[in-house]
């Protein structure tokens, strides 16, 4: 059985289980239902629902037939995407013992409840389906999906903001937005609103036949009253699901012909832009049809370079219902191109529809063949190197996806914002247009500056922030030694070198970055500044040496070269300091030799700092030999053998003193 790919019609058919495709043949029981069954069989769900409801009221004594009509009414409403009405009629069918004949009524009842975000009730129905002999794997998968959806909606992980486009939505079907234009301030979308060209009633939807409408956004962000495209595009048939080429000169769209209540094959058409309108529309001819070919082709999406046209179709050789297929342009034309399936990494046993590209080549589409939040969910596959190569698909988060059907997403160029379609709870019509945007992350930087020894706040401290782009800004701490930057000074993917300076103190700082952060964050830093005291020995990271050597010790436990980078950073941040580097040995070896060794070690450190760009006149190397042991020989001798070497290493150390803070550099 084939059904239209025309936008909402395709979506309406998307949730039909393939195991129920022959439901009419299995359960029709009376000539009374023949007309309703025929409407249902040709996907005239609006007509069918009306007929089944009327028959239900007429039937008095035939309980089985009455139950059948109730179930079929529920199915018609579900496929017409009226879940509230569907649950009412499934409930009547169950009350008439229809579940004894067809346990799938419980499963479908659960789906209709899920689409209304009634997750607890839906889970009860899924469990009932299994209790009545249904497939346990199907039941468990539905329950897991409902639990997942409930959690995602209750505790969303996404920062996306989704809002209905109230000025554009009507009480009809409004769907498949496409954003275009140099300033991304124009859009077209499909709608069955009363101003559509066709005046007849579509038996599938009970609405007018669908047309493409255009709207334009003014400088205040308001969208104009939608107007149908020219009569070269809009006809008495169904038009929808469109895209433009990269220069906005050619419109590709879906058209589904209708004659005498029968929906014929859908195809992709194109029309060249002419002034404010369009020239004649022509079929792209991706399928060479004969009278027996019912293959559906629609939902065009052009790659950013216009070389590939992806579309949805039930062409033979696919993986399930509707797959994504593509053709490649030759000399700028798709004429004569042979459709190729996009492959199993994208397609499933369900339906893949409504493809769309972002400017960077990422592919988006909707599927009911993967686990998500509802029956039809938005999915994304990031582009990879190669011809139509994509990464593993990922489902978009709530609130982009919902318990309802979510499809046909369109992004503004280079922005994490745009529009999509949904029939979620709370909408205005059958399908509605929704805007979405990802607001920028908000970052705060808070600095707390204290005296290292007293813990008292240091007011008037200067905090200088130098950005990677060369920007430099200086701020001053308040009376509590605090600084807070929260008004947009700290943006996404920014890195700053922070310097903290207070007169009479050794300045410090660090590297501040928001690169890689995915949540709004307050970056709080505490800086403890040491007061400058001349000739005081200051602690620094350990610098050690092998026994009898002036080389820096680098082993599994210590990297003395890295330790000296502490001094490099300190002297670069405090350009006025002059220091004395003091090296010490342990007591082993002669005192004269140790004196020379310690001098060599001090000079090793100075040379390392000179190589790092510190002027030599800012450093004085002094070797003290074994004259100032931290651990005496007597203490070492009392230690266990295993600890004695570590004690000797402590004596082989290097420290620094500040001997002046008036260095001004070379004149």
Q: Determine the pLDDT at residue 198.
A: 61
- The rounded percent of the chain whose pLDDT value lies above 90 is 65
Q: Determine the pLDDT at residue 292.
A: 56
Beta bridge partners of 445: 485, 523
Q: Determine the pLDDT at residue 574.
A: 94
- Residue 539, classed as helix, strand or coil, is coil
When pLDDT is cut at 50, 70 and 90, the band that residue 1 belongs to is very low
The larger pLDDT score, comparing residue 264 to residue 351, is at 351
Of 68-72, 78-82, 218-222, 407-411, give the lowest mean pLDDT range. 78-82
* CATH for 268: 2.120.10.30
Among the candidates 529, 551, 574, a domain finishes at 529
Q: Same domain for 300 and 378?
A: yes
- Structural domain range at position 411: 161-437
| DSSP codes, 578-596 | EEEEEE---SSS-HHHHHH
Q: Same domain for 231 and 275?
A: yes
Of 9-23, 343-357, 502-516, 588-602, give the lowest mean pLDDT range. 9-23
Rounded Cα gap, residues 222 and 291, in angstroms:
47
Q: Determine the pLDDT at residue 21.
A: 30
Q: Is residue 143 part of a domain?
A: yes
| DSSP codes, 140-194 | HHHHHHHHHHHHHHHS-----EEEE-TTT--SSBEEEEEEESTTS-EEEEEE-ST
Q: Same domain for 242 and 299?
A: yes
Among the candidates 498, 529, 560, a domain finishes at 529
- Residue 338, classed as helix, strand or coil, is coil
Given a cut of 50, is residue 28 above it in pLDDT?
no
Question: In what order do the strands lie in the sheet containing 352-357?
Answer: 352-357, 363-367, 377-381, 394-395
349-360 burial string, b = 16+ CB within 10 Å, else e?
Answer: ebbbbbbbbbee
Q: Same domain for 552 and 482?
A: no
Given a cut of 60, is residue 311 above it in pLDDT?
yes
Q: Same domain for 114 and 176?
A: no
Q: Same domain for 424 and 519?
A: no
Q: Same domain for 343 and 234?
A: yes
Q: Determine the pLDDT at residue 596.
A: 93
Q: Which residues contact 133 (CB under 8 A, 6 or more apart)?
A: 103
Question: Over the stretch 580-603, which tens digit does the pLDDT of each residue have?
Answer: 999 988 898 889 999 999 999 999
Q: Is residue 2 part of a domain?
A: no
Rounded (10°) CA dihedral 88, 93, 95, 96:
150
Q: Which two tokens stand for residue 400?
A: 């982009």
Rounded Cα gap, residues 369 and 377, in angstroms:
9
Q: Same domain for 423 and 460?
A: no
Q: Determine the pLDDT at residue 294.
A: 65
Q: Is residue 1 part of a domain?
A: no
Number of domains making up the chain: 4
Q: Determine the pLDDT at residue 26.
A: 39
Among the candidates 134, 154, 174, a domain finishes at 154
Q: Determine the pLDDT at residue 373.
A: 83
* CATH for 582: 3.30.1330.60
* CATH for 452: 2.60.40.1120
Rounded Cα gap, residues 309 and 325, in angstroms:
8
Q: Average of pLDDT values for 148-152?
A: 85
Question: Over the stretch 200-251, which tens digit does the pLDDT of each residue have?
Answer: 666 666 666 889 999 999 999 899 999 999 889 998 888 999 999 999 999 9
Mean pLDDT rounded to a whole number for the chain = 88
Q: Is residue 665 part of a domain?
A: no
Q: Same domain for 647 and 542?
A: yes
Q: Which two tokens stand for residue 287?
A: 């399928």
Q: Is residue 308 part of a domain?
A: yes
Q: Same domain for 630 and 562?
A: yes
Rounded Cα gap, residues 346 and 365, in angstroms:
9
Q: Same domain for 147 and 170?
A: no
Q: Same domain for 45 and 134?
A: yes
Given a cut of 80, is residue 259 above it in pLDDT?
no
Q: Which residues contact 452 (CB under 8 A, 6 or more apart)?
A: 528, 529, 530, 531
The count of residues in the chain is 667
Q: Is residue 648 part of a domain?
A: yes
- Residue 520, classed as helix, strand or coil, is coil
Q: Determine the pLDDT at residue 505.
A: 95
Q: Average of pLDDT values for 533-560?
A: 85
């Amino acid at each position: 059985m084939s059904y239209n790919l025309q936008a909402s019609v395709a979506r309406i058919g998307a949730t039909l289980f393939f195991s129920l495709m022959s439901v009419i043949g299995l359960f029709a029981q009376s000539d009374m239902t023949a007309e309703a069954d025929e409407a249902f069989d040709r996907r005239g769900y609006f007509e069918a629902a009306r007929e089944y409801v009327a028959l239900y009221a007429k039937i008095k004594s035939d309980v089985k037939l009455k139950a059948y009509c109730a179930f079929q009414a529920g199915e018609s409403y579900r496929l017409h995407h009226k879940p509230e009405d569907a649950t009412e009629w499934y409930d009547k069918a169950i009350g008439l013992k229809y579940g004894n004949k067809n346990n799938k009524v419980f499963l479908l009842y659960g789906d209709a409840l899920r689409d209304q975000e009634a997750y607890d009730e839906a889970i009860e129905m899924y469990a009932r389906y299994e209790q009545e002999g249904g497939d346990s794997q199907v039941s468990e998968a539905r329950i897991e999906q409902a639990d997942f959806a409930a959690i995602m909606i209750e505790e969303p992980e996404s920062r996306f903001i989704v809002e209905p486009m109230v000025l554009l939505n009507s009480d009809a079907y409004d769907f498949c937005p496409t954003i275009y234009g140099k300033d991304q301030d124009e859009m077209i979308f499909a709608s069955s609103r009363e101003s559509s060209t066709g005046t007849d009633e579509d038996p599938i939807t009970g609405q007018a036949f669908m047309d493409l409408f255009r709207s334009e956004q003014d400088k205040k962000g308001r969208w104009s009253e939608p107007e149908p495209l020219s009569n070269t595009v809009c006809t008495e048939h169904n038009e929808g699901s469109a895209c433009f080429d990269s220069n906005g000169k050619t419109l590709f769209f879906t058209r589904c012909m209708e004659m005498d209540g029968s929906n014929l094959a859908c195809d992709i058409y194109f029309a060249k832009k002419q002034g404010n309108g369009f020239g004649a529309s022509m079929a792209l001819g991706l399928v060479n049809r004969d009278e027996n070919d019912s293959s559906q082709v629609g939902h065009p999406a052009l790659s950013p370079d216009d070389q590939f046209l992806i579309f949805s179709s039930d062409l033979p050789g696919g993986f399930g219902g509707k797959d994504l297929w593509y053709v490649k342009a030759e000399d700028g034309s798709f004429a004569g191109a042979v459709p190729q399936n996009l492959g199993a990494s994208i397609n499933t046993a369900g339906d893949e529809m409504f493809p769309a590209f972002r400017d960077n080549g990422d592919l988006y589409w909707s599927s009911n063949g993967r686990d998500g939040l509802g029956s039809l969910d938005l999915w994304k596959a990031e582009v990879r190197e190669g011809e139509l190569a994509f990464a593993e698909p990922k489902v978009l988060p709530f609130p982009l996806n919902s318990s309802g059907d979510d499809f046909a997403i369109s992004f503004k160029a280079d922005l994490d914002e745009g529009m999509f379609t949904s029939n979620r709870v709370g909408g205005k019509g059958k399908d509605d247009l929704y805007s979405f945007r990802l607001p920028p992350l908000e970052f705060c930087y808070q600095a707390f500056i204290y005296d290292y020894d007293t813990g008292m706040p240091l007011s008037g401290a200067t905090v200088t922030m130098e950005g990677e782009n060369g920007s430099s800004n200086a701020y001053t701490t308040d009376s509590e030694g605090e600084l807070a930057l929260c008004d947009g000074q700290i943006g996404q993917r920014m890195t700053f070198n922070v310097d903290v300076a207070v007169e009479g103190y050794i300045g410090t700082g660090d590297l501040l970055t928001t690169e890689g952060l995915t949540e709004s964050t307050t970056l709080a830093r505490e800086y403890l500044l040491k007061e400058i005291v001349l000739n005081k020995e200051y602690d620094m990271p350990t610098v050690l040496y092998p026994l009898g050597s002036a080389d820096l010790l680098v082993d599994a436990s210590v990297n003395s070269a890295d330790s000296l980078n502490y001094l490099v950073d300190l002297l670069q941040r405090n350009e006025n300091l002059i220091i004395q580097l003091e090296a010490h040995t342990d007591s082993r070896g002669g005192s004269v030799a140790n004196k020379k060794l310690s001098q060599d070690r001090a000079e090793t450190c100075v040379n390392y700092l000179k190589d790092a760009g510190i002027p030599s006149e800012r450093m004085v190397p002094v070797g003290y030999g074994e004259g100032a042991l931290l651990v005496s020989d007597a203490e070492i001798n009392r230690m266990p053998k295993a600890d004695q070497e570590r004690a000797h290493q402590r004596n082989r150390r290097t420290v620094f003193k500040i001997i002046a803070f008036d260095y001004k550099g070379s004149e």
